[in-house]
Amino acid sequence: MMHEQLADIVAERFVTRPPELQIDLTPGLQREETILETRGLSVWYGGFQALRDISLAVPGRRITAIIGPSGCGKSTLIRCFNRMNDLIPGFRVEGELLFEGRNIYGRGIDPVDVRRRIGMVFQKPNPFPKSVYENVAFGARVNGYVGKLSEIVERALRRAALWDEVKDKLRQNALALSGGQQQRLCIARALAIEPEVILMDEPCSALDPVATLKIEDLMRELAERYAIVIVTHNMQQAARVADYSAVMMMAEDRAGEMIEFGPTRQVFTTPKEKRTEDYITGRFG
Amino acid sequence: MGVTDIEAVGPASRIRPRGPLEARLRHGREAAIHGVLFLCAFVSIFTTLAIIATLLEETIGFFGEVSIIDFLTDTKWIPGLGGGPGGLEPHFGILPLLSGTLLVAAGAAVVALPVGLLTAIFLSEYAPEWLRGIVKPILEVLAGIPTVVLGFFALTFVSEDIIKVLFPETKIFNAASAAIVVGIMIIPMVSSLSEDAMSAVPRSLREGAYALGATKLEVALRVVVPAALSGIVASFILAISRAIGETMIVTLAAGATPNLTWNPLDSIQTMTAYIVQVSLGETAQGSLGFRTIFAVGMTLFVMTLTLNVISQYLLHRFREVYE
Amino acid sequence: MTAAEAGFRRRLFLRKATAVGFALLCILATSLGIAALALLLVDITREGVGRVSWDFINSFPSRKPEQAGIKAALWGTIWMMGLTASFAIPIGVGAAVYLEEYAPRNWLTRVIQTNIANLAGVPSIVYGILGLALFVRAMSLERSVLAGSLTMALLVLPIVIIASQEALRAVPNSVREAAYAVGASRWQVVSRQVLPAAFPGILTGIILALSRAIGETAPLIMIGALLFVPFTPSGPLDRFTVLPMQIFNWTSRPQPEFRENAAAGIIVLLIVLLTMNATAVILRNRFQARARQ
């Protein structure tokens, strides 16, 4: 505790953020301006190559969907964006993954810092087995915050369109919420640390259709201020919410490759690749 | 709901960005914690090394004075503690202590292995959920009874009220009463580890046998037990190792006479009981009598360690098949 | 009815009869273990319940059996438990956290893991020999309650580690991922999410380990805990005795009055142990019930 306070004071007095990393969320980040970019990204788990030569630019304040059949490496790719794959033994990466122009796999980059600025929502709602309030406050607590914690919690819950449903049960265990509420709580938890990008790994696959629609509405709203990357195997969902879509396929050696990327409308109506068309029209996948 | 009411939440609280200095402090702290936790885990390695070093040092000293051939082949154990009465020539043959130990362990195995295995079969194949919920905690309580209490039971009940009644000629201290109670002590170990092994046998295997018209007995003995065999044998070996290392029951009930015999009604002495006898006495540190503790302790350690390693190897192989 | 069918029916009857017989045998075996426990409890209660009284609990040992009590042993046990817990819990939980949350998958980790399993099977008297050589002699702690507690801490460490590892393994990985994803460092993930979630399981393991330590006698004989102690320890370097030592002492005396004292001491010891065991079982059941939700 002492140590953390000390670190806070030291940091506040003497350390300012380097100007080239300065991003003021709402006005600064321009629509369409690339925020995340992969260049020739390849990934191995031990001897198995999971991704090959992925190059993709994620625009700011838009929703980008990654679609493709199961096992094609969608989840591996999205988990590279905030270095969650670092936790898997045998993981190795080649190529570049640029966030605001800096390679997040470069030397001297702390994965903890990357995750603080690039939030993530998982396939299955995974709230901590604690109160609603503690779930949202956790990220702020571990990252150091300025201002009232309760404000951060309320703002995040409002942004996640959950406030009205839970404002009277902030002290209740989060596991008592419905599945859809739990997932929105996980979104609120990600928003509370004010990330610049939100990654969503099949966020609706464990939810019923009504809860799914609510999350989709929420995503459209959040795209007003955040860049969102969503992995989904549900093409309708991609078509409904995404501004841009990337299509991935498994190559002969089971490594994932990106075969098409562009505005969603174009990908779904006039795909450049025959394989994309086959996949979208349901001929395989 | 909309973007507007989000802004209505008072002055903005902001996550403060981290500076490089703070990041370095945090890295230092994380590394320090990692180091401390590693040291905690390393305490176990240190313990093993310390046990081996301790036993080895004094055992080497012991074998400087007593030949290892005599130690392993002499049939008399007369350590002559405190000078020895009537100038008896000292003998340091481990065989009487070893036979006493093995006699008790074998007797315990005769009691515990069948009872423990049948209990495990009952729990895993026959007992309904509610009955398991009662029987298993009771067996856990039995497993948690301190050995000094079991020693009291062996001496005051099993020896006096059972063995002496059945065989009036028997001395009050005898191998049989200790063996029976050591057997009772290791029943829970056999039953719970064997049951774990049997529960790990997939349901599909049982269903396959039932579908061929097998009775419950046939499923249990011809399908489940063979499938779980290495786990069951591992539990047997571990239990026997426990019996060999057991101290208080044999100290209290089996006697203090090193005796190369296979008669369970005789008074005997086990390796562990001998170690206790020496440390309760006034044997001077550094004397040959004192060093015998370490030589006997080393023998005990090597025996139990060998059994434990075999048992773990079997368990490991079993897990590879089913998990 | 054909001959073959008749034969099958006859054999089926035999098979069914054998199956019933076997089931009865299993039931008999199971009841044997339970009966032994019941016999033991009845025997000890019959022998000792008459001696259990406040005076017995609050008196020092005496050469006169009717005046002897377990005050010194009880306080010695409390001292030893406190010290043992303060060594074994942090080191044991720390080691478990290292192995489950930090350790790379390499040969050293495998060696440590195998070693812990082996240590769990080392006879307690061997720990006593270690304690005698290491703490009593090499570290010159003499035959103090501190030396006894350190020995006991090493003895129960594998139990604490293995139980804590199981509890940590039961925490779903999604909790760790969620915490990492909001920018928590490894220690923040472990200390603020994983350990609290594993706490009930770890606590159960600690209680079981301590109840093992409370009942152990052999290692304390080795390090020279006293058989006759007419005082309570006032510091960690004082000499001491514990309940099992007192029971051992009384049991090994020939006079039946001392034996009665031993039985009374056992009753007190078993009450303490059963309370601890019951707490552990209740905790575990609660934990399992919650995990199932």
Domain chopping of chain A, boundaries: 34-126+179-280
Once rounded to an integer, what is the mean pLDDT over residues C69-91?
Answer: 94
Distance of CA A222 to the CA centre of its chain: 12
User: Tokens in use for B213?
Assistant: 């018209």
Interaxial angle between packed helices B229-245 and C124-131, expressed in degrees from 0 to 180 and rounded to the nearest 10: 50
For residue range A41-73, what is the model confidence (pLDDT) as tens digits? 999 998 899 999 999 999 989 999 999 988 899
Scored b (16 or more CB within 10 A) or e, C209-230 reads bbbbbbbbbbbbbbbbbbeebe
- Contact of A138 with chain C, judged by CB distance below 8 Å, is answered with yes
Instruction: Tell me which chain C residues have a C-beta less than 8 angstroms from the C-beta of B23.
Output: none
Angle at B272 between CA B269 and CA B273, to 5 degrees: 45
Nearest CB among A113, A129, A190 relative to C182 is that of A190
A127 or A30, higher pLDDT = A127
For residue range A69-78, what is the model confidence (pLDDT) as tens digits? 888 999 999 9
Q: What fold, for A34-126+179-280?
A: Rossmann fold (3.40.50)
Instruction: Give the pLDDT confidence score for residue C278 in this predicted structure.
Output: 85
Once rounded to an integer, what is the mean pLDDT over residues A252-271?
Answer: 89
Instruction: Tell me which chain B residues have a C-beta less than 8 angstroms from the C-beta of C157.
Output: 43-44, 47
CA distance C23 to chain A (A): 44
Angle at B168 between CA B165 and CA B169, to 5 degrees: 155
Instruction: Give the pLDDT confidence score for residue C253 in this predicted structure.
Output: 87
Measured from the Cβ of residue B2, the count of other Cβ atoms closer than 10 Å reads 9
Helix (H) or strand (E) segment spanning residue B15? strand B14-15
pLDDT tier, C61 (very low <50, low <70, confident <90, very high otherwise): confident
Sort residue A109 into left (φ over 0), alpha (ψ -120 to 50) or beta.
Answer: beta
SS3 of C223, please? helix
Residue A18 predicted with pLDDT over 70: no
Q: d(Cα C201, Cα C195) in Å, to the nearest integer? A: 10
- Contact of A60 with chain C, judged by CB distance below 8 Å, is answered with no
User: Tokens in use for B214?
Assistant: 């097998």
For residue range B120-143, what is the model confidence (pLDDT) as tens digits? 999 999 999 999 989 998 999 999
- Output phi, psi for B285, to 5 deg: -65, 140
Would the CB atoms of C178 and A126 count as touching at under 8 Å? yes
Distance of CA B171 to the CA centre of its chain: 28
Would the CB atoms of C133 and B58 count as touching at under 8 Å? yes
**Subunits with 3+ C-beta pairs closer than 8 A to B:** A, C
Would the CB atoms of B218 and C269 count as touching at under 8 Å? no
- Amino acid letter for position A222: L
Q: Which residue of A has its CA nearest to C186?
A: A112
Domain ranges in chain C are 3-50, 54-292
Task: List the CATH code of the domain at B77-322.
Answer: 1.10.3720.10
In angstroms, the Cα distances linking A157 to A165, A199, A223, B7, C86 are 9, 18, 16, 12, 42
Angle at A84 between CA A82 and CA A89, to 5 degrees: 145
For A226-250, the three-class secondary structure string (H helix, E strand, C coil) is: CEEEEECCCHHHHHHHCCEEEEEEE
Q: Which residue of B has its CA nearest to A10?
A: B22
Would the CB atoms of A190 and C181 count as touching at under 8 Å? yes
Domain ranges in chain B are 22-65, 77-322
Residue B40 predicted with pLDDT over 90: yes
Nearest CB among B34, B48, B116 relative to C102 is that of B34
User: Quick check: A207 and A180 in contact, CB under 8 A?
Assistant: yes
CA distance B29 to chain A (A): 9
End-to-end, the C-alpha distance of chain B in Å comes to 50
For residue range A135-171, what is the model confidence (pLDDT) as tens digits? 999 988 888 777 788 999 999 999 999 999 999 999 9
Among B138, B29, B98, B46, which residue's Cα sits nearest to residue C157? B46
User: Tokens in use for A264?
Assistant: 């969603």
Q: d(Cα A68, Cα A285) in Å, to the nearest integer? A: 7
Among B111, B99, B140, which residue's Cα sits nearest to residue B274? B99
Would the CB atoms of A84 and C174 count as touching at under 8 Å? no
Computed from CA positions of residues A54, A55, A56, A57, in that sequence, does the dihedral angle turn out positive or negative?
Answer: positive
CA distance A128 to chain C (A): 6
- pTM equals 0.87
Residue A23 predicted with pLDDT over 50: no
In angstroms, the Cα distances linking A52 to A34, A55, A71 are 21, 9, 14
Residue C290 predicted with pLDDT over 80: no
Instruction: Tell me which chain B residues have a C-beta less than 8 angstroms from the C-beta of A221.
Output: 2-3
Would the CB atoms of C193 and A128 count as touching at under 8 Å? yes
Among B171, B148, B166, which residue's Cα sits nearest to residue B247? B148
User: Tokens in use for C154?
Assistant: 């090493």
Q: Are strands A91-99 and A34-45 parallel, antiparallel or unpaired?
A: antiparallel
Q: d(Cα A41, Cα C265) in Å, to the nearest integer? A: 71
Instruction: Give the pLDDT confidence score for residue B11 in this predicted structure.
Output: 38
Sort residue C241 into left (φ over 0), alpha (ψ -120 to 50) or beta.
Answer: beta
Distance of CA C29 to the CA centre of its chain: 25
Q: What is the CA radius of gyration of chain A?
A: 19
Nearest CB among A120, A128, A141 relative to C175 is that of A128
Among C40, C288, C27, which residue's Cα sits nearest to residue B135? C27
Residue C1 predicted with pLDDT over 80: no
Would the CB atoms of B13 and A221 count as touching at under 8 Å? no
Once rounded to an integer, what is the mean pLDDT over residues B163-180?
Answer: 91
Residues of B engaging A, defined by a Cβ cutoff of 8 Å = 1-3, 5-6, 9-23, 25-27, 29
CA distance B17 to chain C (A): 12
For residue range C142-167, what is the model confidence (pLDDT) as tens digits? 889 999 999 999 999 999 999 999 99
Q: d(Cα B69, Cα B235) in Å, to the nearest integer? A: 33
HSE, CB side, 13 Å, CA atoms: give it for residue B225: 15
Q: d(Cα A185, Cα A203) in Å, to the nearest integer? A: 12
**Subunits with 3+ C-beta pairs closer than 8 A to A:** B, C
Which residues lie closer than 8 Å to C107 by C-beta, 6 or more apart? none
CA distance A279 to chain C (A): 31
Would the CB atoms of C182 and A113 count as touching at under 8 Å? no
Q: d(Cα B22, Cα B17) in Å, to the nearest integer? A: 10
Computed from CA positions of residues A77, A83, A85, A90, in that sequence, does the dihedral angle turn out positive or negative?
Answer: positive
User: Tokens in use for A1?
Assistant: 């505790």
Which residue is associated with the tokens 């009865």? C24
Once rounded to an integer, what is the mean pLDDT over residues C163-177?
Answer: 94
Once rounded to an integer, what is the mean pLDDT over residues A204-228?
Answer: 91
Q: d(Cα C81, Cα C95) in Å, to the nearest integer? A: 20
User: Tokens in use for B66?
Assistant: 């007593």
Instruction: Tell me which chain B residues have a C-beta less than 8 angstroms from the C-beta of A11.
Output: 16, 18-19, 21-22
Residue C260 predicted with pLDDT over 60: yes
In the stretch 7-26 of chain A, residues with CB closer than 8 A to chain B read 7-8, 10-12, 14-17, 21
Helices (H), chain C: 3-48, 54-57, 71-97, 107-119, 124-131, 145-169, 173-181, 186-189, 195-215, 218-223, 243-251, 256-292
Instruction: Tell me which chain A residues have a C-beta less than 8 angstroms from the C-beta of C178.
Output: 122, 126-128, 186, 189
B238 or A32, higher pLDDT = B238
Task: List the CATH code of the domain at C54-292.
Answer: 1.10.3720.10
Once rounded to an integer, what is the mean pLDDT over residues A166-188?
Answer: 93
Q: d(Cα A130, Cα A142) in Å, to the nearest integer? A: 15
Measured from the Cβ of residue C121, the count of other Cβ atoms closer than 10 Å reads 19
Measured from the Cβ of residue B229, the count of other Cβ atoms closer than 10 Å reads 14
In total, chain A counts a number of residues equal to: 285
For residue A57, what is the DSSP state? E
**Subunits with 3+ C-beta pairs closer than 8 A to C:** A, B
User: Quick check: B166 and B266 in contact, CB under 8 A?
Assistant: no
Measured from the Cβ of residue A265, the count of other Cβ atoms closer than 10 Å reads 13
SS3 of A40, please? strand
HSE, CB side, 13 Å, CA atoms: give it for residue A167: 9
Beta strands per DSSP E along A143-275: 145-146, 197-201, 227-231, 244-250, 256-263
User: Quick check: A66 and A36 in contact, CB under 8 A?
Assistant: no
Query: Which of C40, C101, C202 is the best mutation test for B, with the most CBs of B within 10 A?
Result: C40
Sort residue A206 into left (φ over 0), alpha (ψ -120 to 50) or beta.
Answer: alpha
Instruction: Give the pLDDT confidence score for residue B13 in this predicted structure.
Output: 45
CA distance A213 to chain B (A): 15
User: Quick check: C110 and C267 in contact, CB under 8 A?
Assistant: no
pLDDT tier, B323 (very low <50, low <70, confident <90, very high otherwise): low
Q: d(Cα C217, Cα B251) in Å, to the nearest integer? A: 11
Once rounded to an integer, what is the mean pLDDT over residues A11-16?
Answer: 37
Interface confidence (ipTM) of the complex: 0.91
Instruction: Give the pLDDT confidence score for residue B174 in this predicted structure.
Output: 93
User: Quick check: B215 and B184 in contact, CB under 8 A?
Assistant: no
Instruction: Give the pLDDT confidence score for residue C154 in this predicted structure.
Output: 97
Instruction: Tell me which chain B residues have a C-beta less than 8 angstroms from the C-beta of A116.
Output: 15, 18
Nearest CB among C104, C105, C183 relative to A115 is that of C183
For residue range B263-312, what is the model confidence (pLDDT) as tens digits? 899 999 999 999 999 988 877 777 888 899 999 999 999 999 999 999 99
pLDDT tier, A2 (very low <50, low <70, confident <90, very high otherwise): very low
Once rounded to an integer, what is the mean pLDDT over residues B6-16?
Answer: 43
Query: Which of A3, A109, A112 is the best mutation test for C, with the most CBs of C within 10 A?
Result: A112
Would the CB atoms of B119 and C37 count as touching at under 8 Å? no
The number of helices, as runs of H, and strands, as runs of E, in chain A is 12, 11
